[in-house]
Structure 1
Amino acid sequence: MRYAQGGGLTDERRVFREKLRMEAAERFRHGDENAVIAHDLRISVRSVQRRRKAWSQGGPRALASKGPASLPLLGDDLFAVLERELLKGPVAHGWPDQTWTLFPIKTLIGRRFHQSYTVQGVAALLKRHGWSCQLPARRAIERNEAAVAGWGKETRPSGEEPWRRSTPGSSSRTKSASR
């Protein structure tokens, strides 16, 4: 299961879910009904049905966690190699710019490790290992503060009525009904 914060389940949550599965196995052994188990454990009836089927085929061991659905493509040892490559900079790898973006990092991973990541996967990988987005330390030299301040005043809506695409009764439905 993936979350927006860039990680899976915490260790506490994994232990909690394991305990729920074992409690369900105990309830299956006692012959409790699926709806009662679902209500008491606060899970869906469908989840109880799947767990009961697995339990009937393989016992409580069939309900044990099998670990994460997929292992990361780059382990900690390979990520250390990637970090060394990133510290060399993008120019050392043939990119004209002085800053790393996700696409060149994705390409570097593909070339160096023969692993295919999506851009979002690269972002998650970097975040998981403590890397963050680069932000400019100062404003661009070319920035014109007066133009930026004036732009907000000039382009802000002046309170005019919104433009309407059609007038009442102008739809094709009303015209065809009169014919």
Structure 2
Amino acid sequence: MAIAPDLAGHVAAARMLEVSGESVRRWKRVWEEGGTRALRRRPAAGRPPKLDNGQVEQARAALEQGAQAHGFEADLWTLERFGVVVERMTYVSLSRASVWRLLTGRLGWSLQWPERRAVERDESEIARWIAHEWPRIKKGR
């Protein structure tokens, strides 16, 4: 069975690119209709974001003010807290996953864990103990 010359080129191109022959034919059709510009990658179509750029900047400003500025007892952001603040400011309710994408994607923030330190911690007393007591204890071994 002989393959038509035009089709043989498609098959060879498909093998070389490791795609289906249909993809090659579709790309050729798009190129013939619109040229090289028509082949350029376009952003994936999908649902537009719930927050516009202005609302995202409002959210960024709220983050920078800290959680206490928005009525929370501790100055620690959680997904739930930030979601509440975004909803108060924009009247848009976001799921936890959407809040996470907003923080890590559009705002560029990352997950941080607070340092666990006692409020009563006295750095100068720790330094004194390390300088004076620890050498004495170590020498006594």
**Under a length normalisation based on structure 1, what TM-score does the superposition of the two structures give?**
0.44
Secondary structure of the corresponding residue to residue 12 of structure 2: helix
Distance 1:48 1:133 in 2: 43
**CA shift in 2, pair 1:94/1:46, >3 Å:** farther
> What 5-or-longer segments of structure 1 have no aligned partner?
1-29, 142-179
Aligned to 2:124: none
Answering whether residue 108 of structure 2 is matched by residue 130 of structure 1, we say yes
Identity of aligned residues (%): 32
Q: Aligned Cα RMSD in Å? A: 3.5
Which residue matches 2:40?
Answer: 64
Question: Does the residue aligned with 1:59 lie in a helix, a strand or coil?
Answer: helix
Which one scores higher on RCO, CA 8 angstroms, separation ≥ 6? 1
Structure with the bigger percentage of helix: 2
Map 1:2-151 → 2, pairs under 5 A: 31-32=6-7, 33-52=9-28, 54-55=30-31, 58-60=33-35, 61-69=37-45, 72=49, 73-75=51-53, 77-128=54-105, 129-138=107-116
What are structure 2's unaligned runs of at least 5 residues? Answer: 120-141
Deviation at 1:105, TM superposition (A): 1.6
Moved over 6 A (4+): none
TM-score of the two chains, using structure 2 as the length reference = 0.52
Aligned amino acid, residue 65 of structure 1 = R
Q: How many aligned residue pairs are there?
A: 110
Q: Judging changes above 3 Å, is the alpha-carbon distance between structure 1 residues 59 and 139 closer, same or farther for their aligned structure 2 residues?
A: same
- Which AA in structure 2 matches 1:106? G
Counterpart residue identity of residue 111, structure 2: C
Shift of 1:97: 4.8
